[in-house]
């Protein structure tokens, strides 16, 4: 009997049982101090999550659990990285934060960690995602990155402002690019490399040897080939993930809406006023941003025209100037490296707008002087009397300004 009693004592105090007992005791104590909400309360607050004063919902499970289904719109931060990432996701320590895991235990520990960091309105979801599903609440299964994409975009995934959620957003984005020339070359290369899911390219020109001094999408062996076809070969060789939609045509008032329809943003890389006005008017009509760039000899400029946020192109230039005051690159020349600088600025502005991060250039014009290696910024203001975006603007009618020649960059 003493042996049996001794064996019983040994079992009761084995490391495994002691550990389990210790964890259960810790969890019980956490439940006494950490606020908990149930799945119904989470669902009620979830409906307000999109509001400015709504809660931040965080899934603290592992990635393989998250991809099998989660609460739509939540932030995904695995428990092991929560303390490192929370400050970048939400710095307001008074905002309500609701944390959930699979069954409600990991989220208790996560809530305690956030309280220790000074967050004052934290709650754990009792029963976790399991209770959410049992209640019949919607389960969202989002498109996830493949192992190859996880490797390709690995440097994006570690940036707090991008991460897997932002990279997925880029992969689902559609950008229309006017021109596969000087500005379109760096824009196209960097958007494709970044994983923008669909890139449309409009250009009716063919590759000419005089283009190759600045148009790095093309090669000498493709002289005489349509630029859209040459650009597609280069971009898909760089990133097969990206779908390229080619429009080997000239942009006109008759086809612009059909071509732009369904795109999230337009990048203007043209060098003629007729196209700039058409793009501006169509973007205002469709309510999509227009990232504008232009170059001249050693000088360049970049801005974004975002409908209802800042001015449009016509706020700056209500009518096209006379043709003699608007020389093309063919007439005035351009330093070959200049479009690399301006186009790269357009590319980063495009990515910021797609991700909804940082400060856009709406209402700001960035000027670059290559001879002085100098940047200047000008403030742009919306014209309340603008014929296209003004307070009393009527229906937008497209105009083809045929008196201006269209010369490809």
From CA 290, how far away is CA 282, in angstroms rounded?
10
CA dist 342 → 200, 304, 360, 370, 379 (Å): 20, 13, 16, 11, 18
CB atoms under 10 Å from CB of 301, counted, come to 17
Q: Give the per-residue pLDDT at 218.
A: 98
Locate 344 and state its tokens: 């790269």
* Neighbour-count burial for 282-300, b at 16+ CB within 10 Å, e otherwise: bbbbbebbbbbbbbbebbb
Q: What is the mean pLDDT of residues 171-190?
A: 97
HSE of 326, CA atoms in CB hemisphere, 13 A: 18
pLDDT at residue 165 in the model? 87
With CA atoms as reference, report the closest residue to 45 among 2, 118, 3, 98.
Answer: 98
Tens of pLDDT along 70-83? 999 999 999 999 99
Cβ-proximal residues to 166 (8 Å cutoff; 6+ apart), any chain: 156, 159, 355, 357
pLDDT above 50 for 6: no
pLDDT above 60: residue 7: no
Q: Kindly state the tokens that stand for 391.
A: 């307070």
Reported confidence tier of residue 17, pLDDT bands at 50, 70, 90: low
The 10s digit of each residue's pLDDT in 333-363 is: 899 999 999 999 999 999 999 999 999 999 9
User: Per-residue confidence at 19, pLDDT binned at 50, 70, 90?
Assistant: low
Reported as a single tens digit per residue, the pLDDT across 280-290 is 999 999 999 99
Please, which pLDDT band fits residue 323 given cuts at 50, 70 and 90?
low
At 88 the pLDDT is 87
Lowest mean pLDDT among 119-123, 283-287, 383-387, 392-396: 392-396
Residue 331 has pLDDT above 80, yes or no: no
pLDDT interval class at 11 (50, 70, 90): very low
Q: Which residues have a Cβ under 8 Å from the Cβ of 246 and sit 6 or more positions away?
A: 200, 201, 228, 229, 231, 232
CA distance 363 to 303: 8
- Provide the H-helix boundaries in 287-378: 313-316, 329-332, 338-355
Measured over the CA atoms of residue 374, residue 380, residue 386 and residue 389, the dihedral's sign is positive
CA distance 321 to 325: 6
Number of C-alpha atoms within 13 angstroms, CB side, residue 308? Answer: 4
- What was the pLDDT predicted at 394? 86
361 closest CA partner among 343, 372, 349: 349
Which residues, listed in sequence order, are joined to residue 175 by a DSSP beta bridge?
199, 265
Q: How far apart are CA 210 and CA 27, in angstroms?
A: 72
**Percentage of residues of the chain with pLDDT beyond 90:** 76
Which range has the worst mean pLDDT, 260-264, 317-321, 336-340? 317-321
Question: Does position 116 have pLDDT exceeding 50, yes or no?
Answer: yes
Q: Which residue has the tokens 């960059």?
A: 409
Lowest mean pLDDT among 15-29, 54-68, 118-132, 187-201: 15-29
All domains in the chain, ordered by first residue: 34-134 (3.40.250.10), 173-379 (3.40.50.720)
């Amino acid at each position: 009997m003493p042996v049996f009693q001794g064996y019983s004592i040994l079992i009761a105090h084995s490391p495994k049982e002691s550990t389990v007992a210790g964890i259960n005791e810790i969890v019980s104590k956490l439940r006494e101090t950490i606020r908990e909400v149930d799945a119904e309360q989470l669902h009620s607050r979830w409906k307000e999550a999109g509001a400015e004063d709504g809660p931040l919902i965080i899934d603290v499970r592992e990635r393989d659990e998250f991809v099998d289904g989660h609460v739509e719109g939540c932030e995904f931060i695995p428990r092991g990285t929560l303390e490192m990432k929370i400050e970048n996701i939400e710095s307001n320590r008074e905002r309500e934060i609701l944390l959930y895991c699979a069954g409600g235990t990991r989220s208790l520990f996560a809530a305690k960690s956030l309280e220790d960091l000074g967050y004052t309105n934290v709650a754990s979801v009792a029963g976790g995602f399991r209770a959410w599903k049992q209640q019949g609440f919607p389960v969202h299964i989002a498109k996830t990155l493949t192992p190859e994409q996880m490797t390709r975009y690995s440097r994006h995934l570690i940036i707090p402002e991008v991460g897997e959620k932002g990279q997925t957003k880029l992969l689902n984005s559609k950008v229309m690019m006017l021109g596969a020339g000087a500005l379109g070359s760096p824009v196209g290369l960097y958007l494709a490399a970044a994983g923008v899911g669909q890139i449309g390219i409009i250009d009716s020109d063919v590759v000419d040897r005089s283009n190759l001094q600045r148009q790095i999408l093309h090669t000498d062996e493709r002289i005489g080939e349509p630029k859209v076809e040459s650009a597609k070969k280069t971009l898909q060789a760089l990133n097969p993930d990206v779908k390229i939609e080619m429009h080997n045509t000239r942009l006109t008032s008759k086809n612009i809406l059909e071509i732009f329809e369904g795109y999230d943003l337009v990048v203007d890389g043209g060098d003629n006023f007729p196209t700039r006005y058409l793009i501006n008017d169509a973007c205002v009509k469709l309510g999509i941003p227009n990232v504008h760039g232009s170059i001249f000899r050693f000088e360049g400029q970049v801005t974004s025209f975002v409908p209802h946020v800042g001015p449009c192109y016509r706020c700056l230039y209500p009518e096209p100037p006379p043709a003699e005051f608007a020389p093309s690159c063919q007439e005035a020349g351009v330093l070959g490296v200049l479009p690399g600088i301006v186009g790269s600025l357009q590319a980063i502005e495009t990515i910021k707008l797609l991700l909804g991060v940082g400060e856009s250039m709406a209402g700001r014009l960035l000027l670059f002087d290559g001879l002085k290696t100098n940047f200047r910024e000008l403030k742009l203001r919306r014209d309340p009397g603008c014929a296209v975006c003004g307070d009393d603007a009527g229906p937008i009618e497209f105009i083809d300004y045929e008196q201006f020649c269209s010369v490809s960059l």
